[in-house]
Amino acid sequence: METVLKKTKHSFPMATIFQDRVIAFGLLGVVALFIVDSSQALDSIRFTGAALAHIAPYFILAVLFAAYAKASGSDHLIARAFSGSILTAIVLGSLVGALSPFCSCGVIPIIAGMLASGVPLAPVMAFCIASPIMDPEMFILTAAGINGNFAIAKTITAIGMGLLSGFAILGIQKFGYLLQPLKQATGCGCGQSDFNTQVPATIAWRFWREPSRRAEFQTQIKTNGLFLGKWMTLAFFLESLMIAYIPADLVADLVGNDNALAIPISALIGIPAYMNGYAAIPLISGLMELGMTPGAALSFATAGAVSSIPAAIAVYALVRRTVFMLYILLGLGGSLMAGFIYQFLV
C-alpha cells in the first residue's frame, strides 16, 4: 500500500491534524480559491463532498481490510514468497508485491531485511517494483474511482513489471554485476519494521480475541483513515479544479488519441506530478474525462507509482546508485510497454 504509517501516537488532536502539510495545503487552497473565484470554490466543495460520498463505502472497506491484515499478522505471509528456486522467487515476489498491503516507503525496511538475510536481489527488485503500483486497497478504490477494467489492467501491469524487473536483474547478475546492492549504511524515515525472513510471524485470523491485536486494529483504522482521507479529499478538490480550469482541448492535444507521443509524455509527466497512489485515482479519472487515452493513463499511473518522491527516496536511501538507476529505468520502461499494450487492447 502506497501509505507512510507513523505509530508514535494513537490519537490525532486537532492541533496535530492542522499541522499536517496535506491538510494545511488543502485549506490554503480553499481559502485562496474563495478569494480568487468564490463561485468556483463553492462548486469545488460540493464536487469534493459528492465524490467522497460516492467512494465512502469502498474507502471504508479498504481501511478495514488493511487494518485486519496488520492486526491479524497476515501481512507477514510475504516471507513465504521467497523460499525455493530463484525463478520461483521472482514470480512469487511479483505476485506478492502487487497483492500485499504495503506502502511504497514501508516496504523498504522489509526489503532491507530480505537482502540482509540473503534473499537475492532479483526477487527483491520484482517485489520492490510491483509493490507501489498496486495493493488491495488501491484496487478497490481504483475500481470505484475509475473503473474495474483499469484496476485489473493496473494489477496485471504491476505483476508484469515485477517479472520484467526481476528477470532483467537476474540476467545482469549472470555477468557478475550488482552482487552487492546495499549501501554500507541504510535507513528509512518510516521507522523500523518487525519483518524477518528467518523468523515466521504468528498469524491470528481471529485477532479480536487478543487485546493487543484489537488495539492494533483500532490504531490502524485511525492511521489509515486519516492518511487516505486527507489525500482523497485533496485529490478530489484538485480534480474539480482541473475540470474547471484545464481546457479539454489541451489535454486531448498532449495525451489524446491524435498525439502519437501521448503515452511517453504521460509517463514522463507522471514522474514529477504523481503525488500518491490514492490521490492519483481521481486525478487520472479527471484527465480521462478531459480526453486522456486509457494507455496514457495507465502509463502515467505506473511510472508515477514507481518513481514518486516517497518511493524513489526510500529506495535511494537503501541501495547503491547503480541499482537505484536500474529501478527507475525498469519502472519507466515497464510503464511505457504497459501503456502501449493496454492502448492496443482497448
Q: Is the pLDDT of residue 250 over 60?
A: yes
- Grid coordinates representing 204 are 491470528
In the chain, where are the structural domains located? 16-175+182-345
- Give the integer Cα–Cα distance in Å for 232 and 234: 5
- Grid coordinates representing 160 are 508484469
Average pLDDT over residues 51-65: 80
pLDDT band at 189; cut points 50, 70, 90: very low
**Alpha helical stretches, state H, 73-106:** 86-99
Nearest to 223 by CA among 70, 74, 57: 70
| Most confident among 33-42, 46-55, 131-140, 243-252 (mean pLDDT) | 33-42
What is the total residue count of the chain? 346
Average pLDDT over residues 16-33: 81
Helix H, strand E, coil C: the string for 103-161 is CCCCHHHHHHHHHHCCCCHHHHHHHHHHCCCCCHHHHHHHHHHCCHHHHHHHHHHHHHH
**Contact predicate 51/236, CB 8 Å:** yes
Average pLDDT over residues 14-43: 83
- Give the integer Cα–Cα distance in Å for 175 and 12: 52
**Contact predicate 335/295, CB 8 Å:** no
How high is the pLDDT of residue 36? 93
Nearest to 103 by CA among 7, 4, 193: 4
Q: In the chain, what percentage of residues exceed pLDDT 70?
A: 76
Q: What rounded mean pLDDT belongs to the chain?
A: 78
**Contact predicate 281/235, CB 8 Å:** yes
Average pLDDT over residues 90-96: 89
What digits encode the pLDDT tens for the residues 304-313? 788 765 566 6
Average pLDDT over residues 174-192: 62
How high is the pLDDT of residue 86? 87
- With 0-12 / 13-18 / 19 or more C-beta atoms within 10 angstroms meaning exposed / middle / buried, residue 317 is middle
What digits encode the pLDDT tens for the residues 275-329? 566 767 887 888 888 888 899 999 988 887 887 655 666 677 677 888 889 988 9
